[in-house]
Amino acid sequence: MLTVKAFHVIFMVTWFAGLFYLPRLFVYHCETGHAAERARFEIMERRLFVMMTIGATGTALLGIWLLIGYAWQAYASSGWLHLKLTLVALLAGYHLYLWRLMRQIAEHPGRRGARFYRWINEVPSAFLVVIVLLAVTKPF
């Protein structure tokens, strides 16, 4: 099970790398005025989104494996786990929101400014801190 846990963390790191970098690409994308550069950013965004989706899928599947392997009943009464899974579900929603933004910026690059994407870029940081603290400390 330690190997499963290690790969769960590896996939999680991959997922978060994409969650951190994709909004930064959006900033650069909306700041450029050249069609060739916008096309390059669209390719980069799509490729990164595929990689972070692989990371998210691997994280979820291995997380389910860990839940099953570590006796679900023992964790079912753990409040920290319920909160962690809720935050992971919200993070998956944020992932889908980035997909929507990626499509919107490709169609209308000037719809939102760079400042909006800079703020969006901060969201995964808060999730990461709370999720890791819950998983490591198991406070309740």
Is 95 among the annotated ligand-binding positions? no
List, as own/partner pairs, every contact residues 98-103 make where C-beta atoms lie below 8 angstroms and the sequence separation is at least 24, other chains included.
Answer: 98/19, 98/22, 98/23, 98/49, 99/49, 101/23, 101/26, 102/22, 102/26, 102/45, 102/46, 102/49
Q: In sequence order, which residues have a C-beta less than 8 Å from that of residue 102 and are 6 or more positions away?
A: 22, 26, 45, 46, 49
Is 5 among the annotated ligand-binding positions? no
Residue numbers belonging to the annotated binding site: 8, 84
Residue numbers belonging to the annotated binding site for heme: 8, 84
